[in-house]
Structure 1
Amino acid sequence: MDFTFTEEQQAAVEAARAVFSGVVPDRVPSPSLSPGAVAEDIDRRLWGELASSDLLGLTLSEEYGGAGLDPVALCLVLREAAKVLARVPLLESCAVAMAVERYGERALAAELLPRAARGELVLTAGANGRTGHDPAERAVTARPEGEAGDTAPAGWVLDGVQSAVPWAQAADRIAVPAHTAEGRPVLAVVDPTSDGVTLADQVSTSGERLAEVRLDGVRVDARELIDAPGAWDWLRALLTTGTCALALGLGERVLAMTAAYTGKREQFGFPVATFQAVAVQAADRYIDLRAMEVTLWQAAWRITTDAGGALPATGDIAVTKIWASDGVRRIVQTAQHLHGGFGADTDYPLHRYHAWAKQIELSLGPAAAHEEALGDLLAAHPLG
């Protein structure tokens, strides 16, 4: 079998590298240097360049101005974005757009997706629920309003809270998971300027801007609520896998920084990279990266080939998030250790990567949460 990436996927990587080459991670706002300070907006210049390079519509069909690529291509681009700590909701916007195209009504897709591909519309998603520990769809209720016929409601009313929504203040639409009175999970596409929507600032570990999104009797049209079976589960799976791609890219950059530093830093007349204790630690982290990579592509491929649950990706996603969370944490910890005093210097870019790594590690569940989910899955499907 051929496991190499396609020409289109490799072209997406080259385009992403060209765009991100102008991003300087040292200039990323740091919570250590300015406690409590957050950037007011996404990097609009970078957002525009991503749109001009057709990377925002990478995974949309040509009908909506996209390139028609798959989640593997998106993960390849996210990997490059994390290396420079790109301050854009690339994962959230692309993932929500894909979910709308895959599960939403054509009228909704026609309204939103061409504008999203051109960078005119920023999309994000609330995936953490009220506390980050309970299923996100349980935090918001959706009840029908104004019956248009015997079975189809003309609209829906949303009540509840989604916490830690990335860049909600800059978003034009927020995908909000909710549940009906029957307990069925649904996905609402909400305009944050709608009556009843309140955004409260929250600050992430990385210093990026988040928001608590409170919904008090928020009304959405019937076409803005996606009730197709599996829509929210699929979006959550894609968001989780994309987060693992960010962890891989960040880890690769940090290990490269560590190799460069230990290769030029000398003790006793020799580069510290030649010392066995240093080399062994670096080798262990390289093994972490390769495990993070192979499990990532497995999960991304499963999402791509999952047709109506015929090849469920749940277990593979849990495995890759376990490796991503534990792996990125170990990589930045080892990097700080091998950098010595520089590892604690807030003027050195490593501390920014460490802050982002901690955010990525915990986003959409730490390793322990996914280990529990994997255990439940195995218990429900015993071998033999």
Structure 2
Amino acid sequence: MDFTFSEEQQAAAEAARGVFADVAPDSVPSPSMVVGAVADDFDRALWARLAEADLLSLLLDPDEGGAGLDAIALCLVLRESAKVLARVPLLEHSAAAATIQAHGGPEPRSALVARAGRGELVLTVAASGRTGHDPAELAVTARQDGDAWLLDGVQTAVPWAQTADHIVVPARSTTGDSRTLLAVVPRGQEGTDIAEQISTTGERLGELRLESARIPAASVIDSDGAWEELRDLLTTGTCALALGLGERVLRMSGEYTGKREQFGFPVATFQAVAMQAADRYIDLRAMEVTLWQAAWRIATRSPGALPAAGDVAVAKIWAAEGVRRVVQTAQHLHGGFGADVEYPLHRYHAWAKQLELSLGPAAAHEEALGDLLAAHPLS
């Protein structure tokens, strides 16, 4: 394997740094910084700049106006977005568009993919729960009814549900074998309702309720491996967000302890402080190497290749545990400032907790990894 980033991947990361350069969560007040306040929409101005920089179409084919890049490029961009806590559905949108392009029928591809790449419509994914490896974990079921599928169930914690134009919903088929389908559900579809929820970050989530929601067969992806690829990409992207957030928080800790003095010396010069910072640096490097291993496995996925699930599980274990330790140490080193809800570190801690638990905590992925090893023992 070669972990050297290509020129195209580096260019995507550089473009992202330029777009996010003026997003400053540590100096610009945000609804998420105020307890009880919730933003009605994501950052539409930032979304437009991402579209203008062609960062919403990284994974799309050139025929669809995309860059034809891979999961590594997307993770590089997500890493930069997390450093400033960018309030945009970049991960869910990109993953959904790539899945529709790869596995969707002609109708959803022609209607959604190119427009999604231009940022003209917004896609999200109704994927939460432990890991999504077991179809029985899925909260939504689908039964065939003529030339359509009827969806029933309640999916909680759907990101950007109130403002996305379409939601990709994984559902367990009750017709024939228990396989996983992906239904592309328009917002406002008859038989659907979205109830308000609030995430740990202070952002809006949606509880998607489906009661015999009728989705045309053309808008349902019934393809082997589609859900697994989407799940792996979402999980790996979450690891990239955790890495970017952790790197920003460790830098904040270094800057603060370098200026904060006790007994006439910067706190950073104390051995106990330096050792804690070194431990968190090691966490970040472990998060980084496991992230790129997982992203590389996804990017090079081909028939007969090793499955990505094991590498993705390892990356999420490190991301979940690592980002938690990084923000906890940062709060400890910041002293009273670490508990001040008006200080930006509080926002980073809230986002870190959300990322830690999104798509399964470390314990769930350890269990999934154990199941994979039991099914495919090492020789």
* 2:154 equivalent in structure 1: 161
Alignment of 1:174 onto 2:196: no
* 2:229 equivalent in structure 1: 234
TM superposition shift of 1:266: 1.1
Distance (Å, rounded) in 1 between the aligned partners of 2:33 and 2:18: 29
Task: State whether residues 29 and 207 of structure 1, in contact with CA within 8 Å, keep that contact through their aligned partners in structure 2.
Answer: no
TM superposition shift of 1:58: 1.1
TM superposition shift of 1:3: 2.6
The 1:342–1:129 alpha-carbon spacing in structure 2 relative to 1, beyond 3 Å, is closer
TM superposition shift of 1:383: 2.5
Give matches, 1:246-325, under 5 Å. Answer: 246-308=241-303, 310-325=305-320
Distance (Å, rounded) in 2 between the aligned partners of 1:285 and 1:131: 26
Alignment of 1:359 onto 2:360: no
* 1:150 equivalent in structure 2: none
Give matches, 1:22-171, under 5 Å. Answer: 22-26=22-26, 27=28, 29=30, 33-35=34-36, 37-128=37-128, 135=135, 138-146=138-146, 154-171=147-164
Task: State whether residues 130 and 163 of structure 1, in contact with CA within 8 Å, keep that contact through their aligned partners in structure 2.
Answer: no
Distance (Å, rounded) in 2 between the aligned partners of 1:324 and 1:71: 17
Alignment of 1:337 onto 2:338: no
Amino acid aligned to 1:29: S
TM superposition shift of 1:375: 1.0
Task: State whether residues 132 and 138 of structure 2, in contact with CA within 8 Å, keep that contact through their aligned partners in structure 1.
Answer: no
**Percent identity, aligned pairs only?**
69
The 1:130–1:318 alpha-carbon spacing in structure 2 relative to 1, beyond 3 Å, is closer
Task: State whether residues 193 and 208 of structure 2, in contact with CA within 8 Å, keep that contact through their aligned partners in structure 1.
Answer: yes
Distance (Å, rounded) in 2 between the aligned partners of 1:309 and 1:201: 43
The 1:309–1:233 alpha-carbon spacing in structure 2 relative to 1, beyond 3 Å, is farther
Amino acid aligned to 1:343: G
TM superposition shift of 1:162: 1.0
Task: State whether residues 259 and 273 of structure 1, in contact with CA within 8 Å, keep that contact through their aligned partners in structure 2.
Answer: yes
Task: State whether residues 132 and 231 of structure 2, in contact with CA within 8 Å, keep that contact through their aligned partners in structure 1.
Answer: no
**Greater than 4 Å deviation, 4+ residue runs:** 129-137
TM superposition shift of 1:308: 3.7
The 1:93–1:19 alpha-carbon spacing in structure 2 relative to 1, beyond 3 Å, is same
Tell me the SS of whatever aligns to 2:124.
Answer: strand
Distance (Å, rounded) in 1 between the aligned partners of 2:240 and 2:227: 20
Tell me the SS of whatever aligns to 2:150.
Answer: strand
Relative to structure 2, which stretch is displaced further, 311-320 or 130-139?
A: 130-139
Task: State whether residues 144 and 156 of structure 1, in contact with CA within 8 Å, keep that contact through their aligned partners in structure 2.
Answer: yes
Match of 1:205 among 189, 196, 200: 200
Alignment of 1:368 onto 2:363: yes
* 2:6 equivalent in structure 1: 6
Tell me the SS of whatever aligns to 1:22.
Answer: coil
Distance (Å, rounded) in 1 between the aligned partners of 2:351 and 2:133: 20
Q: Deviations over 1:33-84 (max 9, x none)?
A: 232x211001000000000110001110111111100000000000000000
* 1:149 equivalent in structure 2: none
Tell me the SS of whatever aligns to 1:168.
Answer: coil
Distance (Å, rounded) in 2 between the aligned partners of 1:129 and 1:10: 33
Amino acid aligned to 2:141: T
Amino acid aligned to 2:149: W
Distance (Å, rounded) in 1 between the aligned partners of 2:272 and 2:137: 47
The 1:254–1:288 alpha-carbon spacing in structure 2 relative to 1, beyond 3 Å, is same
Amino acid aligned to 2:84: V
Distance (Å, rounded) in 1 between the aligned partners of 2:134 and 2:310: 19
Structure 1 unpaired stretches of 5+: 147-153
Task: State whether residues 163 and 211 of structure 1, in contact with CA within 8 Å, keep that contact through their aligned partners in structure 2.
Answer: yes
Tell me the SS of whatever aligns to 2:154.
Answer: strand
Distance (Å, rounded) in 1 between the aligned partners of 2:127 and 2:204: 15
Distance (Å, rounded) in 1 between the aligned partners of 2:285 and 2:130: 34
Task: State whether residues 30 and 206 of structure 1, in contact with CA within 8 Å, keep that contact through their aligned partners in structure 2.
Answer: no
Task: State whether residues 129 and 135 of structure 1, in contact with CA within 8 Å, keep that contact through their aligned partners in structure 2.
Answer: no
Tell me the SS of whatever aligns to 1:25.
Answer: coil
Task: State whether residues 133 and 368 of structure 2, in contact with CA within 8 Å, keep that contact through their aligned partners in structure 1.
Answer: no
Match of 1:189 among 177, 184, 187: 184
TM superposition shift of 1:231: 0.5
Structure 2 unpaired stretches of 5+: none
Normalising by the residue count of structure 1, what TM-score does the alignment of the two structures yield? Answer: 0.94
Tell me the SS of whatever aligns to 1:162.
Answer: strand
Count of residue pairs brought into register by the alignment: 376
